[in-house]
Structure 1
């Protein structure tokens, strides 16, 4: 089968590799669509980061570069390993792409398996990836999804789960006013979850194209350019001078962080969603005098079922966030190049490893 293989910084190759063997307790999946994630871009430009270097195998997967990329993907069940009896051939599924040590509690009540030692991701640290035509995945990480949800939209369940977990961490509820700093893919999808749960959403974003996308998709009630308006004052106008209840930092940019801190009401909650490649700082006096809660969030934990339910019930429409579809041969020239050099023109570019659906 064909797959996109990561060798190192700036080195991704489309190669023919062996199809995976589906072992006991595993599910064979024909990959339909795989999204290109910001993490994939970081690996290409700055890595290896999550991807293990050649000669340094990951302690759980036992694999090192080259590895097959891709962790945001949907597909169709093609085979069932011994002992898997609750799925059917032909069923639509998405994958929660974790690589986690044996013995870690990953049951339905766990709230911290995503923080366990040496955690990593399928499609970054081995065990196949969504940028290959086929994959074999342990049953625990395979989530069925209604065949009524198109498979291209289903590929966005993984990044949507990031937003779902961030909103859970915030404690946001219907009627709250939320401000999201940044309308990239994760900012937009976090806003989509907030809207689905009944919040009023304000987005602060420099790019006019991204602001318009937030308004056109109706995931934001208001979208402001911080160069043109005082975002903090606009939030206060919308809240009778009080400030936002919750804020979500989705840029890893210091001025955006500062705006969110100022825009929050006393005892508001700030959730830091983005991955920071540099040290950030806070105006500690504001944190203290407003009694703000600051919470980190990473990935998701038992978030996929709730996320899938929102989509199956029609509370979130993922179609508008798909802005491009390509094959494996266009991965760098049409996919990575667009997202690195013209990122405001795209939200989510999907790849069909087999070429089907293009």
Structure 2
């Protein structure tokens, strides 16, 4: 009598803590009645993944602790920007079939726990639910794996015109879409974007889609300055330009108006860029913070109150933002594929992906991990 074979496992990049990532074989998750099983197609490496690797748990549970809502504890599978193909559906899932191509909204809200919505969710702000968690950080499973089981309500069906690699960009693009929408930006307005990292560049690209009149970008690195122009900026200014006391404010006054821009998007998280954002916005204009700050910053509220400027911010996205991004992709007005600068296999995700971003951050916008792809690196 033959012995049974080994149990099926999946390949996953597991996060144990600071600078401790391990490629492991782990048991697959069961597919519950309200869930679907996905074969991961692509997963983007986010700046938050880099912060977790370099600095230790920020969003994942701390060592020895569990997430109070999901029960997740270290090690966790990283990756929250992913697309995939449905391979199995739960008994209660009827709108998705095996073979469906989807992107995933990784954020959890009260619906995912099967409980009554909190007051924040009732206000339509599920992105800041009191019990927020996220696949790839604090909920079961992540995108740096060969497969994942996710709740069906997290899935966003991809139109035939949107390839799976672009599907993995929906999450950062939804962050940018949410920023414009929450800031109240409207067609014909002017904007300043401080920082041309992946989110800053996504905001630039979407500002062009939304019909911005003038887009000014502040960025110090040559490679990202070039990308900002390519993605739609009218002018890119180096805030450290020699001989300029305040190069950003000067550029805004020359290119837009002596009054300033309508909206400034702060995507860097530095004291200097916050100061530039506040100074560069017109009376009654809006400063929108999308950056995650490593330390508290100083702000003189008189600079806000005396000219009735608005200072606000945003976090993550809702399904409305994903729908907006997909609509722009279907129209052909959003050249999202430009964001992809490299694709690596899951086996090479650490050296060719995470460490590559640490070594050569300014040379990349978005590196994708392809679990089912060939080994090595593909340059696009």
Taking structure 2 as the reference length, the TM-score comes to: 0.90
Structure 2 residue aligned with 1:156? 169
Deviation string for 1:173-216 (max 9, x for gaps)?
Answer: 11100000000000001111211110121110001110101112
After TM superposition, give the deviation of residue 329 of structure 1 in Å.
2.0
Please, which runs of 5 or more residues in structure 1 have no aligned partner? Answer: none
Displacement of 1:118 after TM fit?
A: 3.2
**Is the aligned partner of 1:215 residue 2:229?**
yes
1:145-224 correspondence runs (5 A): 145-199=158-212, 200-218=214-232, 220-224=233-237
2:257 — aligned with what?
Answer: 240
Query: Structure 1 residue 250 and structure 2 residue 250: aligned?
Result: no
Write the distance in 2 (CA, Å) between the matches of 1:119 and 1:83: 24
Q: 1:94 to 1:354 in 2, by over 3 A?
A: same
Report the CA distance between 1:88 and its aligned residue.
Answer: 2.3
Quote the residue 2:6 is aligned against.
none
Residue 79 of structure 1 aligns to a residue whose secondary structure is: strand
Residue 83, structure 1, aligned to residue 92, structure 2 = yes
Deviation at 1:269, TM superposition (A): 0.3
How is 1:105-144 mapped onto 2 (pairs within 5 angstroms)? 105=117, 111-144=124-157
- The answer to whether structure 1 residue 64 and structure 2 residue 82 are counterparts is no
8 Å CA contact retained: 1:61, 1:99 = no
How do 1:200-349 residues align onto structure 2 when only pairs under 5 Å count? 200-218=214-232, 220-228=233-241, 229=244, 230-302=247-319, 303-349=321-367
| Corresponding residue to 1:6 among 2, 15, 18 | 15
Rate the CA distance shift 1:172–1:148 in 2: closer, same or farther, 3 A.
same
Maintained 8 Å contact 2:288/2:313? yes
**4+ residue runs over 4 A deviation:** 106-110
Q: Which has the larger radius of gyration?
A: 2
Which whole-Å deviations, capped at 9, do the CAs of 1:90-138 have from their partners, x for residues lacking one? 1210000013333254999853222222312111013111001111111
| Whole-angstrom distance in 2 between the partners of 1:110 and 1:90 | 35
Greater shift after overlay, 254-263 or 302-311?
A: 302-311
1:58-99 per-residue CA deviation (whole Å, 9 max, x = no partner) reads 112111001111000011111111111112221210000013
| 1:283-336 alpha-carbon deviations (Å, 9 max, x no partner) | 323212221100021111232112221122212111111011101222221111
Q: Name the CA distance, whole Å, in 1 between partners of 2:257 and 2:229.
A: 23
Q: Once superposed, what is the RMSD of the aligned Cα atoms?
A: 1.8
Gaps of 5+ in 2: 1-9
- After TM superposition, give the deviation of residue 55 of structure 1 in Å: 2.5
Whether the 8 Å CA contact 1:5–1:68 is kept in 2: the answer is yes
Give the Cα–Cα distance (whole angstroms) in 1 for the partners of residues 334 and 121 of structure 2: 24
